[in-house]
Chain A
Amino acid sequence: MKADSDRRQRLLQIAAGAVFLAVALVLVLVVVSSSGGGDGGDTKLEGVAAVNKSLAGYPQEGSVIGKLSAPIEMVEYGDLQCPVCKHYAEDILPPILEKQVKQGVVKVDFRYMTIIGKESIAAGAAAHAAGLQHRSWNFIEIFYRNQGEENSGYAGDDDFLEAVAKAAGVKDLEKWNEDREGLDKWVEENQQEAEAVGFSGSPSFTVRGPGSDEELVAVGTPGSTAALEEAIEDVR
């Protein structure tokens, strides 16, 4: 009887000590999770949860959001430092994403204009590198929600860009960092492509679809959701 009681006491003593180890292990998991987690670490970002929630469920491939098989392709040429592009992302485009893109009728391809400055190239490369992990639209929209003064240094800042990438849900940050190194040229080619269409301001849009016999239609900067919807309707 005494032996049973001793054994029990000894086991519970060991259990009490082991509880500390278990708690320490949980703390390690919590710290590791937080360091890789999605709120941008030391950089405080606005609107992360709202953006990620609103884009959940949309297929993304590279710089494209929406089903690749969608019959209508809309291309947005935007500059991540551009306040008007931010307005479009927050107010003009959401109804189109919510309706035509969600229904699989339209896909939207984001291309980068870099008219505001060199920092726009770094930001565009970072966003497209996120796109290689299916997160370019999360990156772009979180970037817009946290947009600062034009050419003030934030848009090309590695810490800021990494915080946006983390918040956007980029899972392999090492790969993202490697990828963005080589994407400056691709971003600059986007700018040349926009100029070739005749665009000089951002954001500018093109559409193409069955209604235009797959020919590209330059829409420019339409000014409202209704005008953009009309352009989509014309090529349907």
Chain B
Amino acid sequence: MSFPDEGILRRLIAFFAALGLGVAAYIAIAEAGGDAPACLAGGAGCQTVSESSYSHVAGIDIAVLGIVGYALLLATAFFATDGVRLAGFLLALVGFGYSVFLTYLEIFKIEAICQWCVASAVLMTILFLLSATRLIGYGGTDPEFAHES
């Protein structure tokens, strides 16, 4: 089985993680200012989701968790070791799983869709697929890893 060149995968991860970082930062800044992120076409979905108590977990704005997650994923694109490939995959897996749950909340509990949240969920799904491809395709090519473990 052939995989895309790891350099391309790393560039794609950096690109999508940077986009995700921008989306999460926009949501966090809007909410910190007491507003909600602006939904395109003037829908109220972003406001409804932002004002829901689900927008915070243990008192922390979920967008802030997103910033941390995307920043770490962005960092994984700059290193090509097995430890980083594995960490990137696990981070993206957690982000992907949590995004699925948040999308479920939007549809079935909050009953409103925030376009920015959907954008983030799509980006996290792409990052999960890229990180999984990177780990499966290039994991084990780092001699240091076997030596250390």
Across the interface, which residues of A come within 8 angstroms of B141, CB to CB? 4, 7-8
| Chain A facing B: main interface SS | helix
Beyond A4-B140, A38-B54, is A56–B90 a contact (Cβ under 8 Å)? no
In this assembly, does A196 line the interface, its C-beta being within 8 Å of a C-beta of chain B? no
Beyond A36-B58, A52-B110, A53-B112, is A22–B93 a contact (Cβ under 8 Å)? yes
B140 touches A36 (CB 8 A): no
A29 touches B44 (CB 8 A): no
Q: Which of A14, A36, A166 contacts B149 (CB 8 A)?
A: A14
Minimum C-beta distance from A38 to chain B (A): 4
Q: Which of A7, A32, A37, A38 contacts B146 (CB 8 A)?
A: A7
A214 to B136, CA, bound (A): 73
Minimum C-beta distance from B50 to chain A (A): 9
A208 to B139, CA, bound (A): 72
Among the listed stretches A77-85, A118-126, A169-177, which one makes contact with chain B, having 4 or more residues with CB under 8 Å of it? Answer: A169-177
B135 touches A15 (CB 8 A): yes
Beyond A15-B135, A32-B57, A37-B54, is A6–B93 a contact (Cβ under 8 Å)? no
A26 to B97, CA, bound (A): 6
Q: Which of B51, B57, B93, B140 contacts A169 (CB 8 A)?
A: B51
B146 touches A3 (CB 8 A): yes
Minimum C-beta distance from A234 to chain B (A): 31
A21 touches B44 (CB 8 A): no
In this assembly, does B29 line the interface, its C-beta being within 8 Å of a C-beta of chain A? no
A170 touches B53 (CB 8 A): yes
In this assembly, does B16 line the interface, its C-beta being within 8 Å of a C-beta of chain A? no
Closest to A172 in B: B59
A191 to B111, CA, bound (A): 36
A186 to B94, CA, bound (A): 47
Identify the interface centre among A3, A30, A170: most chain B CB within 10 Å of its CB: A30
Across the interface, which residues of A come within 8 angstroms of B57, CB to CB? 29, 32-33, 36
A165 to B141, CA, bound (A): 54
Q: Which of A11, A33, A53 contacts B140 (CB 8 A)?
A: A11
Q: Which residues in A have some Cβ–Cβ distance to B below 8 Å? A: 3-12, 14-15, 18-19, 21-23, 25-26, 29-30, 32-33, 36-39, 49-50, 52-53, 56-57, 166-167, 169-172
22 A-B pairs whose Cβ atoms sit less than 8 Å apart in the complex: A7-B141, A7-B145, A7-B146, A8-B139, A8-B141, A11-B139, A11-B140, A12-B139, A14-B86, A15-B90, A15-B135, A23-B93, A29-B94, A30-B101, A32-B57, A32-B58, A33-B101, A36-B56, A38-B54, A49-B109, A171-B53, A172-B59
Known: A26-B97, A56-B36. 16 other contacts (CB 8 A): A7-B142, A8-B139, A11-B140, A14-B149, A15-B86, A15-B139, A18-B90, A19-B90, A21-B90, A22-B93, A26-B101, A33-B101, A37-B52, A50-B111, A53-B112, A171-B59
